[in-house]
Structure 1
Amino acid sequence: MTLLHHGRAAPRLAALLVGLFAAALALATPVSAANLFEDLGGKEGIVRIVNDGVDRVLADSRIKGRFVDTDIKRLKSQLAEQFCHISGGPCVYAGRSMEQAHAGLTLRNAEFNALAEDFQAAMEQQNIPFTVQNRLIALLAPMQRTVVGQ
């Protein structure tokens, strides 16, 4: 005998579960992407974050060696375009897929995490609130699976 099949508790339990599920979805769903773009400071804010983030990466002894032969101006441009696009801005990312861009690099989790830390520090430097940082990171984090170990 279970509560879901007998007695008055079943409808209340079902309603409670539906309510909890809806609340969890509401908490997990980020504010609209357009707001994220604006919360990052629009295109200009994103460019500042990317420029500072890449500069930090290039100074980071843990990963700077990975960028020795990289066209830094192009990298900054592509990252700004990508961040603008995924945050709901008016940009269209026209660069290579993450798999293509990182093919043959055999990146490690530690390197991915170092880059993420450098960009988080760049957002802190630009006074981006922690909650806004997390919203952008939540959009970028799934890329780890497509770049690490390629």
Structure 2
Amino acid sequence: MSLPMKRLLIALSCAMAALSAAAQSTPPDDALYRALGGTPGLTKLMADFVPRLAADPRIGEFFKETKLSELQKQLVDQFCVVSGGSCVYEGETMKNSHAEMKIRKADFNALVEVLQESMDRQGIPFSVQNRLLARLAPMHRDIVNTR
């Protein structure tokens, strides 16, 4: 797995740890998870999203040495947790995994665009996409580290 990918996974982990801590203090709301189709829906989404990331000319370089199947699995777990599912994410924190990757705001935005394309292709309603993106947005501060 490439260093950039490891850092991406670490950054995602941090966000997940924070969400897990919050989830322990309140009853879980899995409405978004269910709206995304649960684990099967997230698996299908990531099967479309991860290859698009790797092929994207703007950000594909970050994934060139990444084991895409492992990334896909970790993203399913992470998105499951973020959306309120009962999965467990065991990857690195977002901050640690992205610390030395020199990720710019434009790189982050490109990833979001690719995710939106994948969600569109999977027929995920716009309102559900917005709810997911709102939950993922706080990761920005742990991922973007270069101007």
Say yes or no: TM over 0.5.
Answer: yes
From 58, 63, 68, give the equivalent of 1:62: 58
Mark the runs of 5 or more structure 2 residues left unpaired by the alignment: 1-27
Mark the runs of 5 or more structure 1 residues left unpaired by the alignment: 1-31
Partner of 1:53: 49
From 117, 120, 141, give the equivalent of 1:145: 141
Q: Is residue 90 of structure 2 the alignment partner of residue 94 of structure 1? A: yes
Q: TM-score, normalised by structure 2?
A: 0.78
Which portions of structure 1, spanning 4 or more consecutive aligned residues, are displaced by more than 4 angstroms?
none
From 32, 38, 43, give the equivalent of 1:36: 32
Q: Compare CA radii of gyration and give the structure with the larger one.
A: 1
Change (3 A) 1:83 1:139: same
**Partner of 1:33: helix, strand, or coil?**
coil
From 79, 84, 98, give the equivalent of 1:83: 79
Distance 2:124 2:68 in 1: 24
Kindly state the Cα deviation for residue 127 of structure 1 after the two structures are TM-superposed: 0.5
Higher normalized contact order (CA 8 Å, seq sep 6+, divided by chain length): 2
Opposite residue 68 of structure 1, the aligned amino acid is K
Given that 2:51 and 2:68 are in contact with CA atoms closer than 8 Å, whether structure 1 keeps it comes out as: no
Partner of 1:134: 130
Partner of 2:103: 107
Distance 1:133 1:58 in 2: 21
Q: TM-score, normalised by structure 1?
A: 0.76
**Partner of 2:138: helix, strand, or coil?**
helix
Aligned residues between the structures: 119
**Please, what is the CA RMSD of the aligned residues?**
1.2
**Partner of 2:77: helix, strand, or coil?**
helix
Residue-by-residue CA offset, 1:62-89 (whole Å, 9 max, x unaligned): 0101111111111111111000011111
Fraction of identical pairs, as percent = 46
Opposite residue 82 of structure 2, the aligned amino acid is I
